[in-house]
Structure 1
């Protein structure tokens, strides 16, 4: 049976189209040169979701590095959190190849286990860029396993409006007794409570109270880190001041409040002062800027500031080639250029504005651009030279979670005396510190 001419024409067109499609695909294939020039990923795991305001802020800094460097590896940002077990699993993978952002307490923990690369020989001149106390937080036995990158510190934030109504001169607040006088004046003139405190069985009660412990001359552990050092007259005096002197000036619910509730009380003008980090400033800005705020450095009133530096670390099993690229990236992240990018902050679609969520940690920035562009945040930066260390040794995290924070809450409620609390921490704490 003969085919019609129209069918033959249709088949010819189909064959021609197929040939053209194959030819196009061949032309569009990458050449061997293009294949070899494509960068391989080198993962950078942060402690926040990659697709969050903070993740996107960090991604902008990573993009800057990738654009400026012709390295064989492309730094690729990936999700993370502070799940210790998940981080440990990744660090112990054969030839682990991830640059990690780690809280300082995790640096000590994982370095003690032998999971992290010793960075001491790669970062020598950089030590002078940072406050000595901050730099030492990345060390174990004199070797360097975490390089400070960004962090937070705590300041005493105040409502300028409430202080002005009470005729309180901020410059006159130079120690704890003068702070108490200021609280009394604010309460008398405004009908609000003077200061926000934390008393709940929560992570916040630990770092909040420890600022006073260090301020009174106390310590959590001995210099060696092998014995608990809280059972002293200095710590007893600090707890007494916090509970019995400041407590009556705090919000009525302070015994059951965390830092989150304190921020809410401050925002609603129910208290005049609060202990907060940079987020205490941005919280007011994000909520309509109902009043102007100021910051008092804790060192100016005799206290030590809680600090939370995040460190950059790499696994000890990372290949030589990737290690070279990882070190170059870390050096960029602590450069002045990258450090100042931190202050650009995270984007808030709701307010169409950017807000800092952490601060850079280089001490030399205070004398340069920070002074000009971000002077309101300088008190937070200078706090790194006099830090309150909430977890001075890796095992203190266990003591804190199981005994210290719950016990502090009981002290604030009056269920346990200060003396019995300190004895219990000394006993239970030393048991934990002696464990292998």
Structure 2
């Protein structure tokens, strides 16, 4: 269960990316603007010919993807004798707390991985530096990526993240249970009507087909996907107000809560229980992240499949996250480290096919369209959603507001509040947080 638990920690990023970072670093305390030395101007594209240098590389890859990144680091070190990358792995919750403090004290890493919903907060706090030179050196353009993942790395007119991957929500299904209910496991339901019929067929055989989690992983992510599918959004175009309490949001959360009310899910699903139930043959359907692929592959006796999220609301849409490379501010200018760090980012960003084997969708369009990636059938299946994925807006402290949506979903799924009221109450609280954050970050 290491992979699942790791992602549950990731599920706290919305809050940790904001409150955790803020607690560790006051505005501007992570080194003054320009504190880090400028690179050579080529973004590391020409390599590094300076003296031996050691780079600390921090990330939270504690699960099944960790060995794949370590393999890339070892390969880089073997090919660059004058650069030694030392990879430090920690739980994401610890990572987002420790990084700003380490940067402020001059003990931060030269390279780090960050999730898209934490980039803006850390950029506003001056924890990470712009990477426009790296994008230029790599000749990276929006058309090389899905638009949503490319724009997710930008904040305030500058690029702070180089996309490494996309990890979307997917539809996992137990083929054995589908067959018991008379369903065709080769044709998983893809529409609202097909999904409703499949759930009823499972119910007719005494099975609760889709366990509804009241927690962020995977309940809140599922509800977010449904909001977009019903034509809604989480925030207004300028991110000044929440809009999840509007009709599409109520429809989305009501559909999810009805899984419980209509007997397709137990009333109180524990954390991780939905994913475990799929593995143990207690439920047929589970909406979970792409990271679940490698977990299920370990269950050699389990007959399972994965497909894009069914279109319940009328619009193809799914939640996704993204790991992006960032360069923390160096309190003491060091041109050698700055240039070598860019060389490392350049290197790994071009090796994303190997990274995909760890259970990710490569951010680069060219890699996604390669025969080698298509030979990874599960990842390739979820990659077909790439143009339908959504991320939170790049706004500092956005995770603080999203934490209120988590509470609303929890209350509604546990049948403690009706969906409309839970969403409206959460929106009122979140709007105050958004207003406070605008003052806090000067946005």
TM bin, normalised by shorter chain, reads 0.7 to 0.9
Q: Distance in 2 between matches of 1:283 and 1:256?
A: 20
Q: Which position in structure 1 is the counterpart of 2:14?
A: none
Q: Give yes or no for the alignment of 1:78 onto 2:88.
A: yes
SS of alignment partner, residue 429 of structure 1? helix
CA contact (8 A) 2:239 2:393 kept: no
RMSD: 2.6
CA contact (8 A) 2:112 2:326 kept: yes
Q: Which position in structure 1 is the counterpart of 2:196?
A: 180
Superposed counterparts of 1:48-197, under 5 Å = 48-49=61-62, 54-70=65-81, 72-82=82-92, 83=94, 84-94=96-106, 96-124=108-136, 125-127=139-141, 128-169=143-184, 171=187, 173-188=189-204, 190-197=205-212
CA contact (8 A) 2:401 2:431 kept: no
Normalised TM-score (structure 1): 0.79
Once the two structures are superposed, residues 13-64 of structure 1 have per-residue CA deviations (whole angstroms, 9 ceiling, x without a partner) of xxxxxxxxxxxxxxxxxxxxxxx99833111111135xx7543331110111
Superposed counterparts of 1:191-210, under 5 Å = 191-200=206-215, 202=216, 204-210=218-224
Q: Which position in structure 2 is the counterpart of 1:248?
A: 262
Structure with the bigger RCO (C-alpha within 8 Å, sep 6+) is 2
Q: Distance in 2 between matches of 1:203 and 1:186?
A: 24
Once the two structures are superposed, residues 133-188 of structure 1 have per-residue CA deviations (whole angstroms, 9 ceiling, x without a partner) of 01111111232101111342111111222223434345473321221112212332
CA contact (8 A) 1:361 1:381 kept: no
Q: Distance in 2 between matches of 1:47 and 1:365?
A: 24
More deviation, 211-220/378-387: 378-387
Query: CA, structure 1 residues 277+382, in 2 after alignment: closer, same or farther (shift >3 Å)?
Result: same
SS of alignment partner, residue 295 of structure 2? helix
Q: Give yes or no for the alignment of 1:339 onto 2:341.
A: no
Q: Which position in structure 2 is the counterpart of 1:269?
A: 281
Structure 1 unaligned regions, length at least 5 = 1-35, 345-355
Structure 1 residue 249: deviation in Å?
4.7
Once the two structures are superposed, residues 373-392 of structure 1 have per-residue CA deviations (whole angstroms, 9 ceiling, x without a partner) of 21232122233322233576
Structure 1 residue 313: deviation in Å?
0.3
Once the two structures are superposed, residues 107-154 of structure 1 have per-residue CA deviations (whole angstroms, 9 ceiling, x without a partner) of 111012222211123304323332110111111123210111134211
Query: CA, structure 1 residues 160+122, in 2 after alignment: closer, same or farther (shift >3 Å)?
Result: same
Structure 1 residue 97: deviation in Å?
4.8
SS of alignment partner, residue 111 of structure 2? strand
Aligned positions, number: 379
Structure 2 unaligned regions, length at least 5 = 1-48
SS of alignment partner, residue 195 of structure 1? coil
Normalised TM-score (structure 2): 0.78
Query: CA, structure 1 residues 361+249, in 2 after alignment: closer, same or farther (shift >3 Å)?
Result: farther
Q: Which position in structure 2 is the counterpart of 1:408?
A: 409
- The higher radius of gyration belongs to 1
